[in-house]
Amino acid sequence: MAATKYTYSIAEDTLNGAVAASKLATEIGASAIVTAFDHISTSGDVLDIWFKDALSAGDETILDGVVAAHDGINTSSNLQDLANQKIIDEPVDDAKTPITRPGACKPGRKYEARYFTFKSSDLDSLVCKKVDNSTSWTDIGLKLFDAVGDEITLEANEGNAVRTEITFGGAVTYEVIGGHLWVPETLAGAADDDWKVWVTGAPGIPVVGDVPFLTGGMMLKWYKNKVFDMDGRSAKQLVYVEAAPAANQLKFTFRHPAGAVTEFMGMLEVFVD
Mean pLDDT over residues 29-33, rounded? 88
Closest CA to 260 of 166, 162, 185, 176: 162
3-state secondary structure of 12: helix
Under CATH, to which class is 110-272 assigned?
mainly beta
- Please name the helix (run of DSSP H) or strand (run of DSSP E) that holds residue 227, with its range, or none: strand 226-238
Each residue's pLDDT tens digit, 111-133: 888 899 999 999 999 999 988 88
pLDDT at 133: 87
Task: Please state whether the predicted TM-score (pTM) of the whole model is above 0.75.
Answer: no
pLDDT-derived band at 81, boundaries 50, 70, 90: very low
Each residue's pLDDT tens digit, 172-225: 778 888 889 999 989 998 888 889 999 888 776 655 557 778 888 888 988 888
Q: Which range has the top average pLDDT, 193-197, 248-252, 253-257?
A: 253-257
DSSP string, 75-132: -HHHHHHHHTT--SS--B-TT-PBP-STT---TT-EEEEEEEEEETT-TT--B-B-TT
Domain extents for the chain?
Answer: 4-74, 110-272
